[in-house]
Amino acid sequence: MNNNTKSGRKKLTAKQHRKRNALKITLICLLAVLAVVIGGVVLVFEHFYSRTNFISESMEDDGIEVADYAQSEDGVYNLLLIGVDKRDYNGKYAGNSDVMMLMSINSNTKKVHLMSFMRDLYADIDGHGVHKLNAACSYGGPKLLISTIEKNYKVGIDNYAMVDFDDMVNIIDTMGGVDIDVTGDEVPVLNQYLEELTALDGTRLSDYTLSRGGHLHLNGKQAVAYCRIRYVGNADYQRTERQRTVMTQLLGKFSGKNAIELGSLADKLLPYITHNVSQGEVLNMITKIPSIAKFRVVQERIPYDNHYTSSEEILVPDMDYTIRQIQNDLNG
């Protein structure tokens, strides 16, 4: 046995003791710094998340068998964007959903699909029978709307984000407005919607009305009025196209922003959004924003051209074709 120690190990020299102590101190300092950084990130994230209007909702609460629906492939995240016409502020009316746009983020194909479900689309709504799709939200809020789309069109929806007219005005203004080609025929109708929007909040109409068409920079009120145009061009079909055009521009504004800029923007935008996205899912999406901002944006509309009929003002799709094509678009 070695004479230096009972265990047979050599005694450390004073120099070796100093090196080991220095290493311990360094590791402790690194762990302390890491703890501070992680704690700071958590606090910042919780600050942002606390500013959102989060609603905890489970589809299973009403006995809805989500597994029965066609599910998204791995790497595909489906978020339903809902724009409601809610002018009753007593909290008792959910509002018709004038905008129902599925934003499907496909990490496999590097695409973001903006798929509009038209307001007059056929829908068999639980407890209410056959109606236009936009009625589902007024009957039962976003939860019933999601279950209706899933059951009728066999597309799995992971979460939703909902805004009303006022929220969307504020979001677009916060993002710096949008640049849109407005036709001369669209101008008078857009101004009519502006008259309604300014009357609701008491702002001056003359500050917002357009005098001509062209490639124009629109603020929040003007852009929302543009999205609501229904009786110019190809009716509601073209209105959903206008909505996708504005959304595509807004998505493009995230490209090239650094973490500080994204954080500042999130702090301003999140209070306007009502959603059911968990903290973990939000954090996961935030880390992916820089890469998602580079994905190609693809636009689709349901019903598909030449694959539907109209009956009593309801658009009735060829369901077999439509369900199959939705899956091909989102996953292909």
Distance CA 147, CA 59 (A): 8
The CATH class, in words, for 53-176+253-331 is alpha beta
* Per-residue confidence (pLDDT) for residue 74, from 0 to 100: 80
Tokens encoding 149? 């789309």
Is residue 51 over pLDDT 80?
no
* Per-residue confidence (pLDDT) for residue 292, from 0 to 100: 87
Is residue 245 over pLDDT 90?
yes
> 105 pairs with which residues across the strands?
77, 112
Q: How far is CA 62 from the centre of its chain?
A: 24
* Per-residue confidence (pLDDT) for residue 12, from 0 to 100: 58
Interaxial angle between packed helices 279-292 and 259-269, expressed in degrees from 0 to 180 and rounded to the nearest 10: 130
What DSSP assignment string belongs to 245-274?
HHHHHHHHTTTT--HHHHHHHHHHHGGG-E
Cα→Cα distances 236→184, 215, 246, 315, Å: 18, 22, 15, 11
Region 86-111: what's the mean pLDDT?
A: 78
Distance CA 312, CA 223 (A): 31
* pLDDT band for position 172 (cuts 50, 70, 90): very high
Strands 308-311 and 214-218, bridge-based pairing: unpaired
* Per-residue confidence (pLDDT) for residue 267, from 0 to 100: 80
Strands 159-164 and 274-275, bridge-based pairing: antiparallel
Is residue 33 over pLDDT 60?
no
- As a whole number, the mean pLDDT across the chain is 82
In 3-state terms, what secondary structure has residue 311?
A: strand
Higher-confidence residue of 294 and 89: namely 294
Region 43-61: what's the mean pLDDT?
A: 58
Instruction: Answer for the pair 66, 111: CB distance below 8 angstroms, yes or no.
Output: no
Distance CA 221, CA 228 (A): 11
Strand order in the sheet with 296-302: 53-54, 274-275, 159-164, 76-85, 96-106, 111-117, 296-302
Distance CA 316, CA 75 (A): 31
* Per-residue confidence (pLDDT) for residue 18, from 0 to 100: 61
- The one-letter amino acid at 328: N
Instruction: Answer for the pair 229, 99: CB distance below 8 angstroms, yes or no.
Output: no
Distance CA 176, CA 281 (A): 27
Instruction: Answer for the pair 116, 244: CB distance below 8 angstroms, yes or no.
Output: yes
* Per-residue confidence (pLDDT) for residue 232, from 0 to 100: 87
Is residue 103 over pLDDT 90?
yes
* pLDDT band for position 173 (cuts 50, 70, 90): very high
Distance CA 209, CA 193 (A): 10
User: In this structure, what DSSP letter does residue 126 have?
Assistant: T
Using only the alpha carbons of the chain, give its radius of gyration. 26
Cα→Cα distances 226→208, 223, 247, Å: 12, 5, 12
Using alpha carbons, select from 269, 236, 299 the residue that is nearest to residue 161: 269
Region 289-312: what's the mean pLDDT?
A: 91
> 309 pairs with which residues across the strands?
316
* Per-residue confidence (pLDDT) for residue 96, from 0 to 100: 81
The three-point CA angle 203-205-211 to 5° equals 150
